[in-house]
Amino acid sequence: MDATTGSTVRTAGLVRQFRAGTERLTAVDGVSLEIAAGSVVALTGPSGSGKSTLLYLVGAIEQADSGTVTVDDVEITGLRRAALARYRQRVGFVFQRYHLLPALTVLDNVIAPVLPRRGRSDQVNRARELLDAVGLAGRERSLPAQLSGGQQQRVAIARALMGEPRLLLADEPTGNLDSTNGGQILDLLLSLRDRHGMTILLATHERAIAARCDRLIRLGDGRVVEDVDLTDGEDPAETYDRVARLRL
């Protein structure tokens, strides 16, 4: 698996509202961002600040009410249904809840997203490579229930990489894990970024995770309230102390 170049992501005036009874709630309120190819960006903010909704807009899971999302010079907010489906197939998603199919083996869970698109032998070969890359070689025939939470999240990451994405979106990927397993999952994501050149946008409320990213964007009430570059040469301890002083 050769290294690839990550995607550049731009949003401009992005708005997403939801109806709650007779009210309209604004989850994302005029967000404009530019995310460099190959960077790892932490989205932080309290519950309800718009982190997940912003991820879903970039991933085309949700549709914006106004504004644009542009990925690699393609404005995805203007794509028709078939083109949007093709775009989603090229984006990797990792969620807090692993969403593994309990009746399928680890190998088949990894293969599931590309079943209509590849020959079986190609699928198996790539899935085995990815399981090896995430440290699960030899567990191909296990069922999800036979794995720990950290191992299940590794399967979910391998599954997210099956489509060879240039953009990986992760919504609280360590939220169900203890600090040790959470740190190992971030180690894995960073190593995969270094190896494959992906851009990673992850929502997190954990300071230890955010401090290891290249950039921290804090949302509040659907708006960007802080945007901090964490790649200014500080050692890890200084960066953590800096993030610890920020409101997440």
Judge if 28 and 83 occupy the same domain: yes
Q: Return the CATH number at 232.
A: 3.40.50.300
More confident residue, 150 or 20: 150
Instruction: Take residue 68 and report the two structure tokens written for it.
Output: 């644009």
Q: Which sign does the torsion angle of CA 139, 143, 148, 149 carry?
A: positive
Interstrand relation of 167-171 and 199-203 (parallel, antiparallel or unpaired): parallel
pTM: 0.88
In angstroms, rounded to a whole number, what is the distance separating the alpha carbons of residues 47 and 242? 22
Whether residues 73 and 171 share a domain: the answer is yes
Amino acid at 175: G
Final residue belonging to a domain, choices 121, 141, 163: 163
- Residues 166, 9: Cα–Cα separation, whole Å: 11
Residues 6+ apart with CB under 8 A from 146: none
Mean pLDDT over residues 80-99, rounded? Answer: 87
Output the pLDDT for position 72. Answer: 93
The domain total for the chain is 2
C-alpha gyration radius of the chain: 18
Q: Same structural domain for residues 69 and 187? A: yes
Range of the domain at 142: 100-163
Among the listed ranges 203-207, 214-218, 220-224, which one has the minimum average pLDDT value? 203-207
The more confidently predicted of residues 235 and 157 is 157
- Half-sphere CA count of 111, side-chain side, radius 13 A: 20
Burial class (CB in 10 A: 0-12, 13-18, 19+), 6: buried
DSSP the chain: ----PPPPEEEEEEEEEEEETTEEEEEEEEEEEEE-TT-EEEEE-STTSSHHHHHHHHTTSS--SEEEEEETTEEGGG--HHHHHHHHHTEEEEESS----TTS-HHHHHHGGGTTTS-HHHHHHHHHHHHHHTT-TT-TT--GGGS-HHHHHHHHHHHHTTT--SEEEEESTTTTS-HHHHHHHHHHHHHHHHHH--EEEEE---HHHHTTSSEEEEEETTEEEEEEE--SS--HHHHHHHHHTS--
Residue 109 predicted with pLDDT over 80: yes
- What number is the average pLDDT over the span 26-47? 94
In this structure, are 108 and 39 located in the same domain? no
Residue corresponding to tokens 């399967």:
155
**Is 67 in the same domain as 155?**
no
Q: How confident is the model at residue 21 (pLDDT cuts 50, 70, 90)?
A: confident
Same domain for 218 and 118, yes or no, is no
- In this structure, are residues 178 and 208 in contact, taking their beta carbons and an 8 Å threshold? no
Out of 163, 192, 208, a domain closes at 163
Q: Are residues 142 and 22 in the same domain?
A: no
